[in-house]
Amino acid sequence: MSQPLETRRDHQDQMPDSSRDRGLTLRSVLIGLCFAGLANFWVTWSDYIIHSSTWNLSHFPMVNFILFLLLTVFSAVSGRVFGPRFSLAPSELAIVMSMGLVGSVVPTNGFIGYVLGILATPYYLATPENGWGIYFHPYIPDWMAPSNSGDSMRYLFEGLPGGMQIPWQVWIGPLLWWLSFAGGIALVSACIVVCLRKQWTDYERLDYPIIGVGIDMAMRSRVVGWLPEYMHGRIFWGGFAVSCGIVCWNIPGYFMPGIPAFPLLPQWFTFATGFPTIDFHISFFAFAFAFFVNLEALFSTWFFFLIFILQSGVFNRFGYTIGTRGDPWSSLNPAVGWQSWGAMCFIVFWGLWVGRNHIKQVFYQAFCSARAGRSEEMMSYRIAIFGLVFGLVYVIGFLHHAGMSYKMAFILIFCTLVGYLGVARIVAETGLLYVVVPVTGQSATIYLLGSYGMPPESMTTMVFTYMLVTRGAAMFMPSFTQMGKLADRIPQIRRGLMPALGGAIVAGVVISIVVTFYLGYSQGAYNFNTWVFGMGSQVPFIDTLTKIRTPFSTDWNRLFFFGIGVAVSALLTFLRYRFPGWPLSPIGFPLSTSWPMRRIGFTIFLAWLVKALVMKIGGVVLYRRFQPFALGLVVGWAVGVGISFAVDIIWFPGQGHRIHWY
């Protein structure tokens, strides 16, 4: 990297003249669509058949990084062999990367896996013992979920008998309805991002470290020798050798287990009985990206993670609890989880308050200015506001038509979007790869309203909305937010970027559904041995039924801890503004209780320690010199994971090695 992310925002790199002339081209969009389709095929096939690494859990999915890496090398070599017009300009590479990044959100654990898993579950897995037929079936409209008529769902899980065709007819209606609902959520997310982009990029000057790495790779992609420019230098190859070398060292152990291997799988440790376990293995992918995160965010993240460990341990040792976690996608300890949820809500609303003047300007420019139909955004402010209103009306109306009360639908969508916006904000500001909500919108809604007296139609409809949870990673909003930064760096692609991203999502959805149905109906989804077609699709029904059978009113204990989270974040924000150099940022508070932090908390601490030492010893100059090493770590890890995947395909299909997860 030519300069650190902290200073890049003050010294924006300009695109070369050739790339400025090209902008968003037909070939870049077509390649981006192929990227989205290939990523969905790759991830679906790997997760369900090969059982190798997990490819799309981060906010820069590994599958997209590998494909983008290969494309930059191929473009450089093509330009060297056939001439410059056969290579992609930096702007074109950035467009392809962005379409692949958004498309990679779709498959398996990202989105479609939950859609198909939850829709296929209620009738096929209903038994007299679990009571689903009594509590759910009477309140599921025919259009909302495919029935098991003709054993259509049984064949998805167990495989079709010979000679039978995939029963598309039972799926088309429910899929189209729920995909339209998800499309409404995606539209609302995109419109919110457009309205807030200028506030975040121009006024608050957030770093966007994740997309910054990809943009720098694209802008330094011109061929030098036979490789892209960013691959040159001994420091880069030193980082590459470390991460790729470790993976390659372990591969012979796949065949001969007695060979000593580097620990790439989780290494769990606990301080004492009752304290949450911590994973002490090093995630090279997370470490390398964390090196580009500012020190304040890194310190706050691991500091509050340590506080979470101590607080949870003390609560457990004294036997203090406020109940169950609510659902598997919320924090393990509900008390500290609701603290984090309060912190995230404060960050979201404080950010909106800080940007209130910009938001006023958005409405003024949309309806009162002479430039109402024109803006320097991915869509005009007028279209964004109308799209936001239309999307909200549609999704709330959809839920009400499905059986949910207007009150519950409004609160559910509100809490969901607050969580989405919180995750997007944290990803943009910190650049951490694994950010999820501490409490899902569903859990926040039910404990705010209580399940006592809640209509069964509302509870049943809420179960199906769990397909939007997507591990708590906020579905498409963080990716759209990253694209806002890309549009800021490459202004000439702004207006064409959003339709291209929409095309990538559609391509990903189609490929993911087709491949999933083909594999499921041919081999049986039970044989996938995955969370989304196992307990992941059942626990929304199980947990919701528990709340129906044991009703409760508003949970004031959870709201009390929510208030603590709000108060602590407000205090930290005040101290940050009042005392320059205050080391703790509230941005790390909402991250502390999540499952991904238990996996990478130690890695974040190491990244902070290394970067702090580098800055202490040599300042910004030494930090700049070490940036290629961090990029080499990322590239080397991606190449190593790709080699391991190829080995799994050839020699270990169905018994692959999950060396990349978190």
pLDDT in tens, 531-540: 999 999 999 9
Tally of domains in the chain: 1
Domain contains 661: no
Domain contains 282: yes
Q: What is the pLDDT of residues 113-153, one digit of tens each?
A: 999 999 999 999 999 999 999 999 999 999 999 999 899 99
Q: Is the pTM of this model over 0.75?
A: yes
Q: How far is CA 474 from CA 83, 103, 419, 477, in A?
A: 42, 14, 7, 6
What rounded mean pLDDT belongs to the chain? 93
Domain contains 656: no
Which helix (H) or strand (E) segment holds residue 525: the answer is: none
- The DSSP bridge pattern shows strands 268-269 and 227-228 to be unpaired
Q: The domain containing residue 455 runs over which residues?
A: 5-651
Identify the burial level of 130 via C-beta atoms within 10 angstroms of its C-beta, where 0-12 means exposed, 13-18 middle and 19 or more buried: middle
At residue 469 the predicted structure's pLDDT band, cuts being 50, 70 and 90, is: confident
The answer to whether residues 284 and 243 touch, using CB atoms and an 8 Å cutoff, is yes
Domain contains 50: yes
Domain contains 659: no
Domain contains 237: yes
Q: What is the pLDDT of residues 363-375, one digit of tens each?
A: 999 888 766 556 6
Predicted pLDDT of residue 495: 80
At residue 340 the predicted structure's pLDDT band, cuts being 50, 70 and 90, is: very high
Domain contains 660: no
Tell me how many degrees the CA angle 601-606-608 measures, rounded to the nearest 5: 95
Which helix (H) or strand (E) segment holds residue 268: the answer is: strand 268-269
Domain contains 662: no
The answer to whether residues 600 and 280 touch, using CB atoms and an 8 Å cutoff, is no
Q: What is the pLDDT of residues 197-206, one digit of tens each?
A: 999 999 999 9
Q: What whole-number percentage of the chain has pLDDT above 90? A: 85
Per-residue burial over 95-106, b if 16 or more Cβ lie within 10 Å, else e, is: bbbbbbbbbbbb
